[in-house]
Chains A and B, each alone.
Chain A
Amino acid sequence: MTERAVRWLRRNLFSDVWSSATTLAIVAGLLHWLPGLIDWLLLKAVFRADAAACAAADHAGACWGVVAAKYRFILFGRYPYAEQWRPLAATVLLLLVIVASGLRLMRRGTLLAAWALALPSFFLLMAGGVAGLSPVASDQWGGFPLTLLLATLGMLAAFPLAVLVALGRHQSGLPLVRGLCALYVEGVRGVPLISVLFLASFLFPIVLPQGFSIDVLVRVLAGIVLFAAAYLSETLRGGLRAVAAGQHDAAAALGLSRWQAMRWIVLPQAVRAVIPSLMNSAVSIFKDTSLVTVVSLYELTGSLSLALSGDAKWRSFYLEGYLFIGLIYWICCYSLSRFGSSLERRLAAGLPVNP
């Protein structure tokens, strides 16, 4: 046992002079910094929602009290306090369906039905106006449910658009369509997301006919979809190019039309080939939702600022608030990317993606 441990140490931490020096330097650094960090994070931290105790600690310890005092506002934004069980229920429902999809707990038909049920229920719970639920306008929606909604719907709506654009750019018969798709993809990928969000928030209202207005939430969502689809379509196009030409020929030899071959033979293989990159895009979209706070939609990042900026008692403990929502983002994004790499391993092992 000890012999194995020594061998492990020698191989991984002390294989040569350089490695030993590195190990010692890192251990010294950890010994120097870690106690202070643990003090700040835990030992000297204030966990109660007690502003006076937090002020007395004077940043020697973290003030987690700010989270204890404000977590409802941070998580749900300006949604009416008494009704906040609704966004909670909606979020849990949507998360359950997402996790069930990821863990392959359901067959495809059941899964589609679950999604078809969960998304309308999400909106009904949030918006109300039916079944005795008081109506809540979408400008009151905020916090984590809004983040989740923007990321999920953004991804779901961007995917079909991305498939169309990727096909349009991939085929060779229609140069005009190919040019337009290329213009769209390269145009969007060349500009920052903020400018697309400005476009959605300032310009969409002007280009719509008079008397026809759409909700700012929908406009911003459209902006996110347009942005995400450009990136997704490039990924998909890479997948389309990776499918061997023989597949087209074999499908044609079997009597399938070009679109049948695309739908049943080529596209499934193309999507499979790029699933890991698609998951990376999903992580990016999730993180990018934080930018909508710039156009006055208060998702998780925005609702934190909303919760703390007006409150002099807690205003000096933003860092703890940032760490709290940072942890939420991290858990979501890290699970997504772990899920991506597990799919990658399954694919590499030749296992099916669906049960």
Chain B
Amino acid sequence: MSGRRLRSFALQGAVAVGLALLLWLLFHVTAANMHARGIRSGFGFLREPAGFAIGESLLPFDSSDSALWALVVGLVNTLRVALPAIVVSTLLGTLIGLGRLSPNLLLSRLCQAYVETLRNVPLLLQLLAWYFVVTDLLPDAGAALQIAPHVFLSKSGLALPWFGGDGGTLFDLPVRGDFGVTGGAALTPEYLALLGGLSLYTAAYVAETVRAGIQSVPRGQSEAALALGLSRVQSFRLVQLPQALRSIIPPLTNQHLSLSKNVSLAVAIGYPDLVSIADTTLNQTGRAAECIAVIMAVYLLLSLVTAWLSAWLERRTGHWAERHD
């Protein structure tokens, strides 16, 4: 063995031994501490009744259901916010990003102001503010604002038409009565604040990503397209956009991932997402390590799936761009 290889071998051996020692020590101390404080460990608590109620859920839930089911309900609630927020923030962010590149100075400055304002204030603060606006400053349900036909906004949330009425009708339409709005689908104030806050905040980041992506396409490309007789719209759609997408999609995926991690701020406004429910379970059972492990494992899995999806998407857009070359 050469000197360098020997040295690297020895160094790595030392790291491995050191790490093993550290882990052993950590395990030993933790076990002793847990024994001394009477903390039990293990994931058995997941099968026991959760013992708490959940404010809103798509899946049926009752406090006698298991803690595991509560966490599943939480995960579904996380996705129920994350997926629409991803769609809204991507659309809004794209519009704002394009607006920033507009030759119209007023529009581009307005979009810039949006981005600079929303990006430089903590998301948590924005969520708290939206939540306060919805729950305190909007009118009571009895005097709900009608923002569109059969769509009502009030302190108790947003009511909107949804499929399936009681009388066999196609749509169930909300109606405003003296004591509030009945019928239709209702979105809670927590959900609205979280969805709105997350979408508006992430849109600012998406806008920057889109702008940078489009600006990364050399000017000569669009000039050449115009010289070949393509219209502005054709040049954008056939020449600039396919090239821009290649540099937009990887950071855009990152924005979507950080959005889904930011759903965890729901804990501050009381929306029952995965992290809030894991936090409640933690406080009820005292199983800190297990509950935190569940949160981390779910999010790591989510990241892995997204990474895989985005690699697939990148390959697809690569082909798509090549077809137009």
Contacts and interface: CB of A to CB of B under 8 A. Distances in A.
A126 interface: no
Contacts of B299: 190-192, 195
A191 B295 contact: yes
B106 A26 contact: yes
Given A173-B8, A191-B295, A206 B123 contact: no
Contacts of A71: none
Interface in B29-48: 29-30, 32-34, 36-37, 39
Contact of B33 (A13, A193, A206, A301): A206
Nearest to A15: B103
Given A13-B104, A177-B12, A207-B26, A198 B33 contact: no
Interface in B280-322: 282, 288-289, 291-292, 295-296, 299-300, 302-304
Contacts of A152: none
Contact of A190 (B16, B30, B267, B300): B300
A326 B262 contact: no
Interface string A179-218: 0100000110111111100110011001111100000000
Q: Which of A26, A175, A191, A287 has the most CB of B within 10 A?
A: A191
B12 A174 contact: yes
20 contacts: A23-B106, A27-B106, A177-B15, A186-B303, A190-B296, A191-B261, A192-B261, A195-B275, A198-B291, A283-B119, A287-B123, A290-B125, A291-B265, A293-B268, A316-B136, A319-B136, A319-B137, A322-B128, A329-B120, A333-B121
A158 B230 CA distance: 51
Contact of A290 (B11, B120, B122, B292): B122
Nearest to A336: B120
Contact of A319 (B30, B104, B133, B292): B133
B120 A334 contact: yes
Nearest to B105: A12
A16 to B, nearest CB: 8
Contacts of A209: 29, 33
A301 B106 contact: no
A301 B303 contact: no
Contacts of A174: 8, 11-12, 15
B110 interface: yes
B34 A329 contact: no
Interface residues of B, number: 59
Interface string A316-336: 101100110110011001100
Given A195-B292, A206-B30, A301 B267 contact: no
Contact of A176 (B15, B120, B122): B15
Interface of B: 4, 8, 11-12, 15-16, 19, 26, 29-30, 32-34, 36-37, 39, 102-107, 110, 116-117, 119-126, 128-129, 132-133, 136-137, 261-262, 264-265, 267-268, 275, 279, 282, 288-289, 291-292, 295-296, 299-300, 302-304
A283 B292 contact: no
Chain A, interface SS category: helix
A7 interface: no
B125 A191 contact: no
Contacts of A203: 288-289, 292
B121 A326 contact: yes
Nearest to B304: A190
Contacts of A326: 121, 125-126, 129
A22 B102 contact: yes
Interface residues of A, number: 55
A290 B106 contact: no
A34 interface: no
Interface centre among B4, B30, B264 (most CB of A within 10 A): B264
B129 A291 contact: no
Contacts of A13: 104-106
A104 interface: no
| 3 shortest interchain CB distances as A-B pairs | A333-B120, A202-B288, A12-B105
B12 A176 contact: yes
Nearest to B299: A191
Contact of A330 (B105, B121, B288, B304): B121
Contacts of B110: 26
Given A194-B265, A202-B292, 16 more contacts: A12-B103, A12-B106, A19-B104, A26-B110, A192-B275, A194-B275, A195-B292, A209-B33, A210-B33, A293-B124, A301-B122, A318-B129, A326-B121, A326-B129, A330-B117, A334-B120
A351 B16 CA distance: 44
A206 B124 contact: no
